[in-house]
Amino acid sequence: MTPTTDRGAPAGYNPSQFPAFAVTVDVVILTMSGGSLHVLLVRRGEDPFEGMWAVPGGFKRPDETLDEAAKRELREETGVDAASLVTQFGAYGDPGRDPRMNVVTVAYLAVLRDVGAIAAGTDAADAALTSVSDVLNGKLQLAFDHQRIVRDAVERVRLELEASGVATAFVGTTFTMAELRAVYEAIWGVQLDAANFRRSVVADDGWVIPTGRRARPGAAGGKPAELYRAGQLWKQGGPIRYPHKAEKRKGTR
């Protein structure tokens, strides 16, 4: 057995022989707003990239786990508490991604129906929901490599629409068929036929369950839409497949 020191490191082990680097966490929060996909961003209040927008995040403290760091940074910089929803989806460690030093970041993702009150804090000068399309098409430049991180997060959700029940995380406990369809259209960047979408979702008992209630009347009048709630089948995947051949992806809108 290899002898160890009191701290648990092997005898003779010299950590100074290896290059030092820091670890950060970055959190991508996605939500629907006004029928389009939005991401929660903070405006940096200090260098590097002072004044630029970025996803919430910061350095991991020595006495906390990665998960704890992600939840703390999100709460401190935006006031949003999504402790039970954030999950890791990637890691980024390209040399030079941070001008201060060699920094590896672990990226987290959470999908929220409602982000609630947003309040910038700690080193963030501002915090706001921003259209994902503005980020992906380069209209809004982000600090560090956060454009890539947001793009990867959106691609993860695009894939999850087919493989899981993530679509229902974007809507409330009750929702209309149009609200659910809007999630797919916004994330996939396609227009889906309303009648075909409805047939796919109601084809099997268990995707959506009628509540017997209707949404509030819209400004245009007419019969209010029927309200549904998610059924058990969403635990097995999703009812809609991306129309790869029928429609060309136009980008997230």
User: 138-173 pLDDT, tens per residue?
Assistant: 999 999 999 999 999 999 999 999 999 999 999 999
Tell me if 251 is assigned to some domain: no
Which CATH number is 39's domain given? Answer: 3.90.79.10
111 in the same domain as 205: no
215 in the same domain as 111: no
Q: Which residue has the higher pLDDT, 18 or 176?
A: 176
pLDDT, residue 251, reads 47
Q: CA 107 to CA 86: how far, in whole Å?
A: 10
Tell me if 243 is assigned to some domain: no
Domain end (from 108, 140, 161):
161
Domain end (from 133, 161, 189):
161
184 in the same domain as 149: no
Confidence of residue 250 (pLDDT cuts 50, 70, 90): very low
124 in the same domain as 35: yes
Q: Which residue has the higher pLDDT, 58 or 204?
A: 58
Tell me if 66 is assigned to some domain: yes
Tell me if 246 is assigned to some domain: no
Which CATH number is 193's domain given? Answer: 1.10.10.10
Range of the domain at 222: 164-236
What mean pLDDT do residues 76-100 have?
A: 93
Q: Is the pLDDT of residue 245 over 50?
A: no
107 in the same domain as 51: yes
pLDDT digits (tens, 9 = 90+) for 111-145: 999 998 999 988 888 999 999 999 999 999 999 99
Percent of the residues in the chain that have a pLDDT greater than 90, as a whole number: 76
81 in the same domain as 139: yes
What mean pLDDT do residues 177-181 have?
A: 97
pLDDT, residue 248, reads 45
pLDDT digits (tens, 9 = 90+) for 5-19: 456 788 888 888 888
Task: Indicate the average pLDDT of the chain.
Answer: 91
Tell me if 2 is assigned to some domain: no
Q: Point out the least confidently predicted range of 7-11, 25-29, 173-177, 244-248.
A: 244-248
Q: Is the pLDDT of residue 246 over 70?
A: no
How many domains does the chain divide into? 2
What mean pLDDT do residues 89-101 have?
A: 96
216 in the same domain as 182: yes
104 in the same domain as 54: yes
> DSSP string spanning the chain?
---B-TTSPBTT--GGGS---EEEEEEEEEEEETTEEEEEEEEE-SSSSTT-EE-SEEEPPTTS-HHHHHHHHHHHHH----TTT-EEEEEE--TTSSSSS-EEEEEEEEE-S--------TTEEEEEEEEHHHHHTTSS-BSTTHHHHHHHHHHHHHHHHHHSSGGGGGS-SSB-HHHHHHHHHHHHT----HHHHHHHHHSSTTSEEEEEEEPPPPTT-SSPPEEEEE-GGGGG--S----TTTS------
pTM above 0.95, yes or no: no
Confidence of residue 38 (pLDDT cuts 50, 70, 90): very high
Tell me if 3 is assigned to some domain: no
CA distances from 233 to 9, 93, 140, 238 (A): 49, 38, 38, 8
pLDDT, residue 101, reads 94
pLDDT, residue 91, reads 98
